Structure 1
Amino acid sequence: MRIYLDDERATPEGWTRAYWPDEVIELLKLGGVEEVSLDHDLGEDERGTGYDVVLWVEEAVALHGFVPPRMRVHSANSSAREKMEAGIRAIERLREQRQPSR
C-alpha cells in the first residue's frame, strides 16, 4: 500500500488517500505500507500535520524496531518540508543502525 496524506491535492493513481495523521499512523500499525507521501499543512492544525507522522515513525523505529516504509514529502511549505526531510533522514540513520552487520 502507498499512502498519500493531503487535504487538497488530487490523490495519485495507485495511492490510498488519508486526510489526517492518525489515519496514516493506524495504517502503518497494520503493516503492509510500502511508501508514504506527506503534506505538512492539512487545514486543521489541532488535528495534526504531516510532521506528526514523521515523529511517530521516528519513535517507533527507535523504541520498537519498526521497519519504516519509503517516505517522502510533497508539502509546499518550505520550512516544514525541510524539518520533515530532516526527520526522514534521522529515521533512515536509525534504520541503518538497526540492520545487522554483514
Structure 2
Amino acid sequence: MKVYLDDERETPEGWTRVYWPEEAIALLQTGKVEEISLDHDLGDDEHGTGYDVVLWIEEQVITNGFNPPKIRVHSANSSAREKMEAGIGNIERYSCGSPLHNS
C-alpha cells in the first residue's frame, strides 16, 4: 500500500489518500504500507502535521524495531521539509542493521 498524506493536492493514482496524521499512523500500524508521501501543512497545525508522522515512525523504529516504509516528503514548506528530512535521516540510521535490531 502507498499512503499519501495531504489536505489539498490531488492524490496520485495507486495511492491511498489520508488527511490527518492519525489516519496515516493507523495504516502504518497495519504493517502493509510500503511507501508514504507526506505533506507538512495540513490545514490545522493543532490537529497535526506530516512531521508528527515522521516522529511516530522514528520512535517506533528506535523503541520497537519497526520496519519503516519508504518515506517521501512533498511539502512546499521548505523549513518544515528540512526538519522532516532530518527525521527521516534518523530513521534510516536506526533501521536496517542497526545494533537495536540485532539484539
Offset, 1:87: 0.3
Structure with the largest fraction of helix:
1
List gaps (5 residues or longer) in structure 1.
none
Counterpart of 2:48?
A: 48
Query: Distance in 2 between the 1:19 and 1:27 partners?
Result: 12
2:86 partner amino acid: A
2:45 partner amino acid: D
Q: Secondary structure at 1:68's aligned position in 2?
A: coil
Q: Is the 8 A contact 2:36 2:71 kept in 1?
A: yes
Counterpart of 1:35?
A: 35
1:10 partner amino acid: E
1:93 partner amino acid: R
Aligned length: 100
TM-score (norm 2): 0.94
TM-score (norm 1): 0.95
Offset, 1:99: 5.0
List gaps (5 residues or longer) in structure 2.
none
Query: Distance in 2 between the 1:94 and 1:31 partners?
Result: 18
Aligned-residue sequence identity (percent) comes to 70
Cα-to-partner distance string for 1:46-82 (whole Å, 9 max, x where unaligned) = 1100000000000000001110000010000000000
Query: Distance in 2 between the 1:72 and 1:94 partners?
Result: 17
Counterpart of 2:94?
A: 94
Deviation >6 Å, runs of 4+: none
State the superposition RMSD in angstroms: 0.9
Cα-to-partner distance string for 1:21-63 (whole Å, 9 max, x where unaligned) = 0000000011110000000000011110000000000000000
1:69 aligns with 2:80: no
